[in-house]
């Protein structure tokens, strides 16, 4: 069996910065509770690891971010790299909470582009995922933003305004986005395009798309992680016959590989490196010690 790690792996710069801000919050406010509204990154093992440091993640699919802020009485609140509705942030400030906004620079840039075009009278088409925190934050900027989630939306969207900006969530598939933009330009030739897939997402997707001589692609990451999902999709598009999405090495216990298999292991920008390293070590040795998800190891990366 030949095993190789697809690089880059480990956290992207935006996630690294968000973690650094959380670390700083803990050391700057040692006597106060530190809350994160929503998952700092889409990885439940990281959330568990944060809990061991008394950092509380408030995440509930049936509650809005505003409702989650309602639950905090005092302390520090961290908003994640995905961005946050300004009204929710203001609510936290008005409650007297110490607010730390970890919005990634690339997400901020997209928001600035959207705001500039809205001020110039544009309607914004935003290519993104339903109920994803990043698209929710972008859509909160104005009611003049239309979410497009797939090819069908691109084919059917209606707009009377001749000023249209097309922009994107940072973690979308490069392929699908290009296809959607092509459809939109066929229908609205004067639309302004600001494709905002970030460099971390693009580099990881390109690395998978360029894989050669690969029989199996294993993508390590949380089921909720959009950038991880896109890597698996890229592998399928690249014609790799077997593509597995897993959270930890434990998901491989019942998998059967051939002696001649050439296996590539990729991971999303939100996947702790320790989990990917465990997967690779398990594949190489079959040692059961790599099946344990040792939170103290993940904590070393906090």
Q: Which of 14, 128, 235, 272 binds ligand SF4 (CB under 6 A)?
A: 14
Q: Which of 43, 177, 201, 248 binds ligand SF4 (CB under 6 A)?
A: 201
Of 134, 136, 196, 247, the catalytic one is 134
Q: What's the min distance (Å) between Cβ of 235 and ligand SF4?
A: 18
Q: Which of 81, 234, 279, 295 binds ligand SF4 (CB under 6 A)?
A: 81
By CB under 6 A, residue 38 contacts ligand SF4? no
Binding segment for ligand SF4 among 12-20, 139-147, 213-221, 274-282 (CB under 6 A)?
A: 12-20
* Nearby residues of 283 by Cβ (< 8 Å), 6 or more positions away: 1, 3, 218, 249, 252, 257, 263, 265
Distance of CA 43 to the CA centre of its chain: 9
User: How many CB atoms sit inside 10 A of residue 92's CB?
Assistant: 25
**Cβ closest to ligand SF4, residue 49 vs residue 138:** 138
Contact 269, 15 (CB under 8 A): yes
Compute the C-alpha angle 175/266/57, nearest 5°: 95
Element containing residue 12 per DSSP (H, E):
none
By CB under 6 A, residue 278 contacts ligand SF4? no
Binding track over 92-111 against ligand SF4, x by CB under 6 A: ------------x-xx----
Q: What's the min distance (Å) between Cβ of 101 and ligand SF4?
A: 13
Q: What's the min distance (Å) between Cβ of 285 and ligand SF4?
A: 31
User: How many CB atoms sit inside 10 A of residue 150's CB?
Assistant: 13
Assess whether 71 carries a catalytic annotation.
Answer: no
Cα–Cα distance for residue pair 278/257, rounded to 1 Å: 17
The residue with its CB nearest to ligand SF4 is: 14
DSSP string, 135-189: HHHHHTT-TTEEEE-SHHHHHH-----S-EEEEE-TTS-HHHHHHHHHHHHHH-T
Contact 77, 69 (CB under 8 A): yes
Binding segment for ligand SF4 among 6-14, 62-70, 210-218, 280-288 (CB under 6 A)?
A: 6-14
Q: Within 13 Å and on the Cβ side, how many CA atoms surround 246?
A: 22
Q: What's the min distance (Å) between Cβ of 30 and ligand SF4?
A: 27
**Cβ closest to ligand SF4, residue 15 vs residue 295:** 15
Q: Which of 25, 49, 184, 198 binds ligand SF4 (CB under 6 A)?
A: 198
Catalytic positions are 134
The residue ranges that bind ligand SF4 (CB under 6 A) are 12-15, 81, 104, 106-107, 170-171, 198, 200-201, 227, 269
């Amino acid at each position: 069996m030949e095993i190789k790690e697809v690089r880059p792996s480990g956290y992207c710069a935006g996630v690294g910065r968000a973690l650094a801000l959380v670390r700083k919050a803990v050391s700057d406010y040692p006597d106060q509770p530190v809350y994160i509204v929503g998952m700092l990154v889409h990885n439940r093992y990281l959330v568990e690891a944060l809990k061991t440091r008394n950092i509380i993640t408030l995440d509930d699919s049936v509650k809005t971010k505003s409702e989650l802020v309602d639950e905090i009485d005092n302390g520090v609140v961290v908003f994640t790299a995905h961005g946050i509705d300004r009204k929710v942030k203001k609510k936290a400030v008005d409650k007297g909470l110490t607010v730390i906004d970890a919005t990634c620079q690339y997400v901020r840039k997209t928001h600035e582009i959207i705001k500039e075009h809205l001020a110039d009278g544009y309607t914004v088409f935003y290519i993104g995922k339903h109920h994803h925190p990043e698209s929710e934050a972008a859509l909160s900027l104005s009611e003049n933003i239309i979410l497009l989630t797939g090819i069908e939306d691109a084919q059917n969207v209606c707009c009377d305004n001749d000023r249209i900006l097309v922009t994107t969530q940072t973690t979308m598939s490069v392929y699908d986005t290009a296809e959607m933009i092509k459809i939109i330009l066929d229908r609205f030739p004067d639309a302004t395009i600001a494709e905002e897939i970030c460099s971390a997402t693009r580099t990881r997707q390109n690395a998978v798309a360029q894989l050669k001589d690969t029989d199996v692609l294993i993508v390590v990451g949380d089921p909720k992680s959009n950038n991880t999902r896109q890597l698996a999709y890229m592998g399928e598009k690249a014609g790799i016959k077997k593509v597995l999405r897993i959270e930890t090495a434990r998901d491989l216990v019942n998998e059967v590989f051939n002696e001649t298999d050439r296996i590539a292991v990729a991971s999303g920008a939100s996947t702790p490196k320790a989990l990917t390293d465990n997967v690779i070590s398990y594949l190489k040795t079959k040692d059961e010690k790599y099946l344990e998800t040792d939170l103290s190891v993940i904590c070393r990366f906090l």
